[in-house]
Structure 1
Amino acid sequence: MPTTHNPNTLDYTAQKEDLLVFARYPELGKVKTRLAAGIGPEQALQVYRELLAHTQAVAAPLAVRKWLWLAEAGPAADRSDTWAGYQPLPQPAGDLGHRMQTAFAHSFAKGAAAAVIIGTDCPGLTTAHLEQAYTALHTHDVVLGPATDGGYYLLGMKVVWPTLFENKPWSTSAVLSETLAAAKLVGLQVHLLPELRDVDTAEDLWAWQESEKQSS
């Protein structure tokens, strides 16, 4: 990885920190299916491409080791984006909790002292949020980025805590609350980042577009 970076950011490489990105190759009819139900598969694919580009852009300034965990791709998947600087790996079988736990365990087995995992659904995510996550892990066991739908857009930790992944109601509004309850039960110190909105539905997309208009 390049060693030159913004002097105002921390030296993440020296601290052996990883970024884990869960994604899939763009493929018509296979990405953002809930969004496609409201706006059509072609437009949903375009939105997904924009979200992929945004995720790469905000992660680019970080001097961390970067892993790209890819969902299984179909025959029509667009593999032209090489995700330069990332080490690609196939997502394992199992529910989201098992897949995330596997990704964290892999990083720690490869020598990471801390790791942060994100998806590619959050247009409000910034480089500063990612920097804050790594900084928080200096003094906390876990960092979470709450999403407005009751899930989370980011999770960070320094060791694997299986209780945060097992028996969770994935893709429901109870994911964050049950994850926080599990962390409290075992006495983990949790830092919460600002709440952000994922783009999963047409309503989410319209809210994002409206916020873009207001900020322009």
Structure 2
Amino acid sequence: MKTDALIIFTRNPELGKVKTRLAKTIGDEKALIVYNDLLLHTKNETHAIKCDKFVFYDSVIVKEDIWSQDFYQKKRQSTGDLGQRMQDAFASLFEMGYQNCIIIGSDLFDLKATLIETAFKELKDHDVVIGRAEDGGYYLLGLKKNNTLIFQNKDWGTSTVFEATVRDLATLKVCLLDTLNDIDTFDDLKRSSYDWAKLNPVLVSK
């Protein structure tokens, strides 16, 4: 029986197309370095988790990259806004027979395997598990069945997303995880565990 599945949303790491808000401070090349480090961190923290794992690429599926096909199945995100793409990803796995599905992004150096494992455990006794990001979004969402409402009418990328989502979950049993810092800006990067000084000593004084 298929039970637990982890969805990992990623962007293809292309110069000028990732971490654009961060790039405004440190430039496209350094932003790409940070994003590749984020991808590596996400891979390192997820590869040993005992569940089926799916990497959803935003544009092109890459066969030979850090996501070994021995541990990760590979899919492409659908079209539409972030909500539509997440909804479609959940729907595809529930249709495959999975009972507990969790989605994460690839934006957190604070993300740990133990947190994802805790989320799967909590999902057994809750309808929904959600982890708030410091910027007002969320970094993890776990569902037992698809819920189209929570993916609609959201201002994605703004500080309103988490609160608006929680309002939509008012009738369900929800587990809230720790609030974590996802990396969108240079201030986010400075507050993280990343050794950001290695990018450029000049940035240390900013």
TM-score scaled by structure 1? 0.85
Q: Is 1:204 paired with 2:188?
A: yes
d(CA) in 2 for partners of 1:50 and 1:132? 24
Pairing 1:34–2:21 present: yes
The reply to whether residue 59 of structure 1 matches residue 46 of structure 2 is yes
Query: Whole-Å Cα distance in 2 between the matches of residues 207 and 174 of structure 1?
Result: 21
2:109 aligned partner, one-letter code: P
Counterparts in 2 of 1:80 and 1:29: CA distance versus 1, 3 Å: farther
SS in 1 for 2:179: coil
> 1:114 touches 1:137 (CA, 8 Å); kept in 2?
yes
Q: Does the 8 A contact of 1:163 with 1:183 survive in 2?
A: no
Distance apart, 1:87 and its partner CA: 1.3
Q: Structure 2, unaligned stretches of length 5 or more? A: 198-206
Q: Work out which of the residue numbers 32, 37, 46 in structure 2 matches 1:50.
A: 37
- Which residue is 2:138 aligned to? 152
Deviation readout 1:33-85 (Å, 9 max, x if unpaired):
11111110111000001100110111112121111111115xxx987515112
Given that 1:145 and 1:192 are in contact with CA atoms closer than 8 Å, whether structure 2 keeps it comes out as: yes
What SS does the aligned partner of 1:171 have? coil
* In structure 1, C-alpha distance between the alignment counterparts of 2:181 and 2:192, rounded to whole Å: 8
Of residues 91, 105, 111, the one that matches 2:97 is 111
**How many positions carry a matched residue from both structures?**
195
Task: Work out the percentage of aligned pairs sharing the same amino acid.
Answer: 43
Q: Kindly state the Cα deviation for residue 25 of structure 1 after the two structures are TM-superposed.
A: 2.1
Mapped partners of 2:76, 2:152: distance in 1:
21
2:172 to 157, 181, 188: 188
> Root-mean-square deviation (CA), in Å?
2.0
1:129 paired with 2:115, answer: yes
List gaps (5 residues or longer) in structure 1: 1-13
Name the CA distance, whole Å, in 2 between partners of 1:163 and 1:190: 15
How far residue 171 of structure 1 moved from its aligned partner, in angstroms, is 0.5
- Equivalences for 1:1-20 in 2 at 5 Å? 16-20=3-7
- Partners of 1:39 and 1:78 lie apart in 2 by 27
Q: Which runs of 4+ in 1 moved over 2 A?
A: 77-80, 209-213
Q: Work out whether residues 27 and 78 of structure 1, in 8 Å CA contact, stay in contact via their aligned partners in 2.
A: no
Q: Which residue of 2 aligns with 1:21?
A: 8
* 2: CA distance, partners of 1:163 / 1:26: 31
Matched residue of 1:193: which SS? strand
Q: Is the 8 A contact 2:130 2:176 kept in 1?
A: yes
Letter of the 1:193 counterpart:
L
User: What CA deviation, in whole Å up to 9, does each residue of 1:139-159 have, x standing for no partner?
Assistant: 100000100000000000000
* CA distances 1:132-191 after superposition (whole Å, capped 9, x unpaired): 11011111000001000000000000001111111111100000000000110xx11110
The change in CA–CA distance for 1:95 and 1:200 in structure 2 (over 3 A counts) is: same
